[in-house]
Chain A
Amino acid sequence: MIQDKMISKLEILAESAKYDISCASSGTSRSNKNKGIGSASRCGICHSFTADGRCVSLLKIMLTNYCMFDCAYCINRQSNDIPRAGFTPKELADLTIEFYRRNYIEGLFLSSGIVRSADHTMEKMIRVVKILRQEYHFNGYIHMKAIPGASNELIREAGLLVDRMSVNLEIPTERNLKLLAPDKDHQTIYQPMRHIQQNLLENIEDRKKLKSTPKFVPAGQSTQVIIGATDETDNQILQLTAKLYKRPSMKRVYYSGFIPVNSYDKRLPILQEVPRVRENRLYQADWLLRFYDFNVDEIVNDDHPDLDLTVDPKLSWAIRNPQFFPVDINRDSYRKILRVPGIGVKSAKLIVMARRHRKLNIEALKRIGVVLKRAQFFIVCHEMRTFKLLDSSAEYIRLSLQDQPLIEINKDPIPQQLVMGW
């Protein structure tokens, strides 16, 4: 009987937590201490994948899904008639350990509905983490939500126990946030973010003086914005992202395609489908910002306020900027090679290493893993000195490389000399 109750509680609180996209367990590397339990792996480990294809790395769960707020986009809003439940801190800590011992998870992702007050909720969450870290000597990964409005003291205390903290922005502009979540405003969301940042920077200074000072959120913080619930353009969203990434503690911004969980609420748009393609394009743009050294204005700006849904943002940029090409694979810098569509970080690194030994031709590029279907329009290399883009119109490239190509590319894509049919 007690067991059935645990299982249904687990289900209710997982259902309530699942719309949080983040599940990363990366960013900290820590080996086991004193033969206790657990370690953290720098690049993170995904232990399972649900039928929607999303990774399960942490035990993503709410401490309770009772909530006094009434945000229009949230499944747990106060006015929703859904089953409610709550764990005691001990129950949740025990469950985490049992799952961890079986290699189901990397650790815990703890979130909670807001009960009584922000500080009260935060205190209860800290209790779970304290049992894990101090009683069970758990050394695995812990991600904890910072509750908007919680005091700096509690954020400080939590941050010294966990690996990552996050506060979700949810709605990119303040105007729309006020509309959908009357209990929230950007001030109360940015405040814990700032607290986390300040504490982290102070902690870095303290650790310079005394190495044994415990680390404050070693994996930094992350946040999430909902896409498609309100009318923001990709330009607005990505400008916000770029601003957030300028803060040294912000590691990830997640984009969550809007799922109409409360379809009765007339403030929300009626969507036939989750805007998955747009979400995917935003992630691609996000990657360009973080790993490809792109400036946000190169991807979106007032002339191009939204990302092209038919081709990826890198290709879209390349087509708009023909003056940048051709890139000479054997001569140009790593940064320039990285900008070629069809060449990723890994192949770009291999290319600059390999070309020291010999001149690279098309065959070598193919073996290295360059997607020539895309790259061929933008490069010259050994044995292929003629530059294709000059012969091909931008429209041709776009139509042949978009997700559902309208033009069939020549089956033998790399002729020595290319003459276009028009």
Chain B
Amino acid sequence: MLGFYYDKTFEGLLCAVFDAFKLKKMPECLLTADDVVPLLLSESHQVEYRNSKYERVYTALQKKLSPIALNQLLFTWLSELPESDLIIFRYICKVFKSNSPIETDFGDPDVLAVHDIAKKVNKEKHHIQQFVRFNSIQNPASDIDEKIYFAVIEPIYNALPLTTRFFKDRYADQKWAIYDEKRQYGYFYNLEKLEQISLNEDDHLIVDNKINQDYLTDDEKRFQTMWYRYCNALTIKERINPKLQRQNMPKRFWHHLPEMQGK
């Protein structure tokens, strides 16, 4: 069995495609340096990252794929699912080998898999837009009184980068930050542009996966209480249906929703 070692980046994956066509050899598995060597690995190849290789594959893809399909590949990559890199790899190889466009060939397992995984990641993107809850906090990095709307999320797929444009457009007149606690990075919007951030451990801004209550501004608790009581008042008792509620709003999000505290 032939395996390719690469650096586990999207750009690196495209370089692997380049090498495969150059060597005229198709790998059966994709590996990184930390992976346990598979039992049946008989031959391996180290993919070197070169910007020129990446760009050549990417430009060729842009020519052969619609923007929608190209986006689907990126979404599939962000799923971080164990086999997703190999699926993307096989998909791209099929694109280059075929004379006609393959992106709507949903009878092909790889084409359908990319479509389905992209759909799941897109759903998670939508979940973030739905369930992000901003808490107004004092900026820990500033001595002056400065309010930041801060949210913590733990998405199953790495979908946060897909949502920043939406939040930047919607909340253009407030400073906000969203932090992916699972992947330990986030984005901060400072009224002008977005910055990628990672938190300073010493600030203890997040304690037990939750925003440290000491940082909340004075009126924050009040609005959370109002929202909690509002959602309760809105419930029609004669129609209680917890299953439907969980279906629409999976439990994994409840931790960060003020309206679901203690439920």
Could you tell me which A residues sit within 8 Å of B by CB distance?
3, 6-7, 10-12, 14-15, 17-19, 31-32, 35-39, 41, 45-56, 59-60, 95, 98-99, 101-104, 140, 257, 259, 274, 276, 350, 353-358, 360, 364, 367-368
9 closest A-B pairs (Cβ-Cβ)?
A53-B244, A354-B106, A357-B105, A353-B104, A14-B233, A52-B239, A53-B241, A50-B235, A49-B249
Contact A46 B248 (CB under 8 A): yes
Residues of A within 8 A of B64 (CB): none
Residues of A within 8 Å of B88, CB to CB, are: none
- Assuming the contacts A46-B130, A47-B130, asked whether A52 and B241 have C-beta atoms less than 8 A apart, the reply is yes
Q: Among A41, A59, A99, A274, point to the contact of B238 (Cβ < 8 A).
A: A274
Q: Which of A14, A95, A367 touches B234 (beta carbons < 8 Å)? A: A14
Q: Determine how close the nearest CB of chain A comes to the CB of B168; give it in whole angstroms.
A: 9
Is there contact, CB below 8 Å, between A53 and B248? Answer: yes
Q: Which of A6, A140, A350 contacts B226 (CB 8 A)?
A: A6
Closest residue of chain A to B249 (Cβ to Cβ) is A49
Question: In the assembly, what is the distance between CA of A53 and CA of B248, in Å?
Answer: 7
Pick the contact of B131: A15, A47, A140, A276 (CB < 8 A).
Answer: A47
Contacts of B166 in A (CB 8 A): 39, 41
Q: Are A37 and B174 in contact (CB under 8 A)?
A: yes
A residues in contact with B231, CB < 8 Å:
48, 50, 56
CB of B248 within 8 A of CB of A259, answer no
Give Cα distance in the complex from A409 to B247, angstroms.
27
B15 to chain A, nearest CB (A): 29
Report B140 CB to chain A, min CB distance, Å.
19
Say yes or no: is B1 at the interface (Cβ < 8 Å to chain A). no
Contact A350 B106 (CB under 8 A): yes
Given the complex of chains A and B, what is the CA–CA distance between A140 and B171 in angstroms? 11
**Given A10-B230, A60-B234, A354-B106, A52 contacting B130 (CB threshold 8 A):** no
Say whether B242 faces chain A, with CB atoms less than 8 Å apart: yes
- The interface residues of chain B lying within 8 Å CB-to-CB of A31 are 169
Q: Which residues of A contact B131 (CB under 8 A)?
A: 47-48
Contact indicator per residue, chain B 221-259, by CB within 8 Å of chain A (1) or not (0): 011011101111111111111111101110000000101
A259 to B237, CA, bound (A): 10
A45 contacts B107, C-beta separation under 8 Å:
no
Chain B residues in 8 Å Cβ range of A356: 104
Count of A-B contacts with CB under 8 A? 152
Contact present for A50 and B106 (CB under 8 Å)? no
CA–CA, A17 to B236, complex, Å?
Answer: 11
Assess whether A102 is in contact with B133, with CB atoms less than 8 Å apart: yes
Q: How far is the CA of A32 from the CA of B174 in the complex (A)?
A: 13
Out of B104, B151, B171, B248, name the residue touching A37 (CB < 8 Å). B171
B240/A52 in contact, CB under 8 A: yes
Interface flag for B47 (CB, 8 Å):
no
Q: A45-B126, A48-B249 are in contact. Are A104 and B102 (CB under 8 A)?
A: no
Could you tell me if A49 and B245 are in contact, using CB atoms closer than 8 angstroms? yes
Tell me the bound Cα distance from A35 to B223 in angstroms: 24
Q: Give B107 Cβ to nearest chain A Cβ, in Å.
A: 4
Q: Nearest chain-A residue to B112 (Cβ)?
A: A367
Q: A51 to B239, alpha carbons, bound, how many Å?
A: 8
Chain A residues with Cβ below 8 Å from B242 are 51, 53
Q: Contact at B236–A18, with CB atoms within 8 Å?
A: yes
Contact B107 A11 (CB under 8 A): no
Complex Cα spacing A39 to B166, Å? 9
Report yes or no: A51 in contact with B245, Cβ–Cβ below 8 A.
yes
CB distance from A133 to the nearest CB of B (A): 15
A35 CB to nearest B CB, Å: 4
Min CB distance A87 to B, Å, is 13
A53/B245 in contact, CB under 8 A: yes
* Minimum Cβ distance to chain B for residue A385 (Å): 18
Contact with A along B140-158 (1 / 0, CB 8 A): 0000000001010000000
Q: Does A11 lie within 8 Å of B106, measured CB to CB? A: no
Bound-state CA distance A56–B248 (Å) is 11
Query: Which residues of chain A are near B151, meaning CB under 8 Å?
Result: 103
B129 at interface by CB-CB < 8 Å: yes
Known: A10-B226, A53-B244. Contact between A18 and B173, CB under 8 A?
A: no
B245 in complex: contacting residue of A7, A50, A102, CB < 8 Å: A50
Q: Which of B104, B106, B149, B235 contacts A102 (CB 8 A)?
A: B149
B109 within 8 A of A: yes
Q: Is the CB of B227 within 8 A of A368?
A: no
A357 to B102, CA, bound (A): 8
Contact B236 A354 (CB under 8 A): no
**Given contacts A45-B130, A52-B240, A364 and B225 within 8 Å (CB-CB):** no
- Which residues of B lie under 8 Å from residue A15 when comparing CB positions? 233-234
User: Is B193 engaged at the interface, CB distance under 8 Å to the other chain?
Assistant: no
In Å, the complex CA distance between A27 and B203 comes to 43
Kindly report which residue of chain B lies nearest to residue A23, judged by CB atoms: B234
- Check: B134 CB closer than 8 A to any chain A CB: yes
Known: A45-B126, A259-B236, A259-B239. A52 touches B230 (CB 8 A): no
Given A10-B233, A354-B104, A357-B102: 7 more A-B contacts, CB < 8 Å: A7-B226, A14-B230, A32-B169, A32-B172, A48-B231, A51-B235, A60-B234
**Which of B112, B170, B234 interacts with A50 by CB under 8 Å?**
B234
Complex contact A103–B235 (CB within 8 A) = no
Jot down 29 A-B pairs with beta carbons below 8 A, ordered by A. A11-B230, A14-B233, A15-B233, A32-B169, A39-B170, A45-B130, A46-B130, A47-B130, A48-B130, A48-B257, A49-B244, A50-B232, A50-B234, A51-B235, A51-B241, A51-B245, A53-B242, A53-B244, A59-B230, A101-B149, A102-B136, A259-B236, A259-B239, A274-B238, A274-B239, A354-B107, A357-B102, A367-B109, A367-B112
Which of these, A35, A36, A276, A368, contacts B239 with CB under 8 Å? A276
